[in-house]
Structure 1
Amino acid sequence: MKRISLLILTAILGLQGCNSSNKSKSTTKPVLPTKPVITAVHGIQPSEVANYIAEFKLAKENLKFTFEGAESKIFYVDKTKDTIIIKYDKGLVHAGFDFKNNEPTASLTLYEGDTSDLGDFKATRMLTGVDIKISEDDDTSIYSGSVKDQVTGGIYSIRLQLNEHLMGAGDSKLIINGKKATLAGTLGTSTYIQIQEMINTTSVDTLILSNVSGSDNDAINMHTGRLIRNASLTTLMPKGGEAYSGGVDLFAAGAQRIFETGGKLGVHSWCCTADGKDAGQLSKGDKAHGAQLTYFREMLGTEKGPEFYFYTINAAPANKIHLMSVADMVKYTLTTP
């Protein structure tokens, strides 16, 4: 999953001066280096998280797809060079988008089918856009017009409403059962809201990561991890469970972490910087590592945190996944022997 972060690293060297007197022998005290002071870096400043969430809640109300008058919630899935792929109640929407100029384009195609497993998605019906028009309502882009069934020739009205918060919302589901909660799906801003509400309104003490594919918004996902740590929650990777990329970040946030044999923790590099490089292609001193380094220092300590972060970005490129061995989990203190 895409990870975008900035680094501000300030090393302060303390210099202790020399004192001399004409009444005594001149002495020079050795210059002792002080421990570098590392400035915390964040994609979203902690003081701005509340405003970010409030803005997201308002914007989310405008994220919807309407087919023949029936509204459906929508979730970001992926993108190509000229298309945003979106999940809705009955399948996928491929909406035209010019990423270079950051603006929608007048094209839209529907693929109906079962989206419960997107890796095995098979379209049962295809409908192509007819006279699609683009309009704007504040920060919301609106695709309107019709789609045509490629088999029957039927014409149906559609309306798709998008804004910048779609791509970072995620589609996670949180199920609470007593003092345990099970998290699944793709992480994002919605996950932060779910975890925050759970902490504020329940006595949950254990978060189970059952099937977490990654994160659509790492800047807020790291703050979700801080919610978990500050609430002293235990994170559990159960036998048969899976957590990848940003899901591993949340597992690391547990005040206590439990890994059951048969679970899967998968890591890879994030992508991409402005010039298209993924994190594993950058030097260790690159500023783009900053927010991730700050996060893992908090979760795993000043030594193991950076070691683990650089291990993850070198373990696999952004388009692949490396499954961690138990030995590596122990090495980086994600679990105990």
Structure 2
Amino acid sequence: MRSFTACLGLVCLFAVAPLSAQVIEYETVDVVADHFDSGGERSLFLTFRDPPQALAAAIPEGPAYGPFRVLDDGRAALVDVTDSRSPAQFAAMLRDHPRITSIEMVDCPGTEDDLANLRLGRMIREHGIATHVPAGGSVRSGGVELFLAGAHRYADVGAEFAVHSWMDDTGLEPDDYAASAPENRRYIDYYRQMGMSPIEAEAFYAMTNSVPFSSARWFGAGEMGQWVRLEGAGT
């Protein structure tokens, strides 16, 4: 495990999608990053020194299935990092609570296993489950892939997202591989499966890689809505 301190101020990022160039303010964060056993693995755990608001709402109580908590007959919450066990835990939750149709993304720090995380995202989509980030909800790193998996996606004003590039166990990042390499294609293919066009998928992937693994690019529901369709009030 490596620990990084990323001091992020006002950064102007170039547009890689339908967005015009803009200035985005980032908060100073401490970043703890894990390395894993295969290419394209990533995780980002962020703790705020001076958060502009309480990002993580109180962790809800309810039957636990790994990082998931059952809220009621129709809803579950995602409140922790995912790992290699998460797809099986998700399947067990749906077996026991088959009427779940929505996941509240309360505090989603990332993943310890990207390949399992992408499988989990496909399961969410296959079951037609919606994803919702409430005001104060925090979705980072691999959690963003799970948000995109929602058959319907909702993000309230005050929801926050963070993305960054991945790093594999050899210290290589996306730009160290050919664009057509499996380490890069798996994400673009996933975004296309979640409904993006080829151009949108490549642009979104480029945006997630616009900062290195040890940093983070933060944005809110408004910007997420320029990348994918959001539904409902408060977007």
Fold-level match, TM-score > 0.5? yes
The yes-or-no answer on 1:228 pairing with 2:124 is yes
| Amino acid of the structure 2 residue aligned with 1:182 | A
Q: Aligned pair in 2 of structure 1 residues 250, 194: CA closer, same or farther (>3 Å)?
A: same
Cα deviation code 1:211-264 (max 9, x no counterpart): 010000000110100110000001000111111011110000000000001111
The yes-or-no answer on 1:298 pairing with 2:193 is yes
Determine the structure 1 residue equivalent to 2:209: 313
Aligned-pair identity (%): 24
TM alignment of 1:46-65, pairs within 5 A: none
The yes-or-no answer on 1:208 pairing with 2:104 is yes
Determine the structure 2 residue equivalent to 1:284: 179
Determine the structure 1 residue equivalent to 2:144: 248
Q: Aligned pair in 2 of structure 1 residues 321, 280: CA closer, same or farther (>3 Å)?
A: farther
Aligned counterpart for 2:85 among listed residues 185, 190, 198: 190
Give the whole-Å Cα distance in 1 for the aligned partners of 2:88 and 2:130.
19
Q: Is the 8 A contact 1:307 1:332 kept in 2?
A: no
| Unmatched segments (≥5 aa) in structure 1 | 2-76, 85-98, 100-116, 121-170
Aligned counterpart for 2:159 among listed residues 245, 263, 269: 263
Q: Aligned pair in 2 of structure 1 residues 324, 283: CA closer, same or farther (>3 Å)?
A: farther
Give the whole-Å Cα distance in 2 for the aligned partners of 1:265 and 1:330.
12
Give the whole-Å Cα distance in 2 for the aligned partners of 1:212 and 1:220.
15
Question: 1:311 offset after TM fit, Å?
Answer: 1.4
Instruction: Report which of the two has the higher share of strand.
Output: 1
The yes-or-no answer on 1:180 pairing with 2:75 is yes
Q: Aligned pair in 2 of structure 1 residues 261, 172: CA closer, same or farther (>3 Å)?
A: same
Question: Over aligned residues, Cα RMSD in angstroms?
Answer: 2.9
Question: 1:313 offset after TM fit, Å?
Answer: 1.3
Give the whole-Å Cα distance in 1 for the aligned partners of 2:103 and 2:76.
5
Question: 1:309 offset after TM fit, Å?
Answer: 1.6
Determine the structure 2 residue equivalent to 1:199: 94
Cα deviation code 1:2-28 (max 9, x no counterpart): xxxxxxxxxxxxxxxxxxxxxxxxxxx
Q: Aligned pair in 2 of structure 1 residues 287, 223: CA closer, same or farther (>3 Å)?
A: closer
* Equivalenced residues, count: 176
Cα deviation code 1:135-170 (max 9, x no counterpart): xxxxxxxxxxxxxxxxxxxxxxxxxxxxxxxxxxxx
Larger Cα-atom Rg: 1
- TM-score, length of structure 1 as denominator length: 0.47
| Amino acid of the structure 2 residue aligned with 1:331 | Q
TM alignment of 1:1-337, pairs within 5 A: 172-202=67-97, 203-272=99-168, 274=170, 276-303=171-198, 304-314=200-210, 316-335=211-230
Give the whole-Å Cα distance in 2 for the aligned partners of 1:181 and 1:263.
17
Q: Aligned pair in 2 of structure 1 residues 176, 326: CA closer, same or farther (>3 Å)?
A: closer
Question: 1:282 offset after TM fit, Å?
Answer: 4.3
Q: Is the 8 A contact 1:259 1:335 kept in 2?
A: yes
Q: Aligned pair in 2 of structure 1 residues 289, 79: CA closer, same or farther (>3 Å)?
A: closer
Give the whole-Å Cα distance in 1 for the aligned partners of 2:223 and 2:33.
30
Q: Is the 8 A contact 1:271 1:318 kept in 2?
A: yes
| Amino acid of the structure 2 residue aligned with 1:188 | D
Cα deviation code 1:171-217 (max 9, x no counterpart): 62423322110111111122212211222232110001100100000
Question: 1:327 offset after TM fit, Å?
Answer: 4.2
Question: 1:79 offset after TM fit, Å?
Answer: 5.8
Give the whole-Å Cα distance in 1 for the aligned partners of 2:227 and 2:183.
22
Give the whole-Å Cα distance in 2 for the aligned partners of 1:118 and 1:328.
20
| Amino acid of the structure 1 residue aligned with 2:203 | E
| Unmatched segments (≥5 aa) in structure 2 | 2-31, 38-44, 49-65
SS for the counterpart of 1:324 is: strand
| Amino acid of the structure 1 residue aligned with 2:174 | A
Determine the structure 1 residue equivalent to 2:41: none
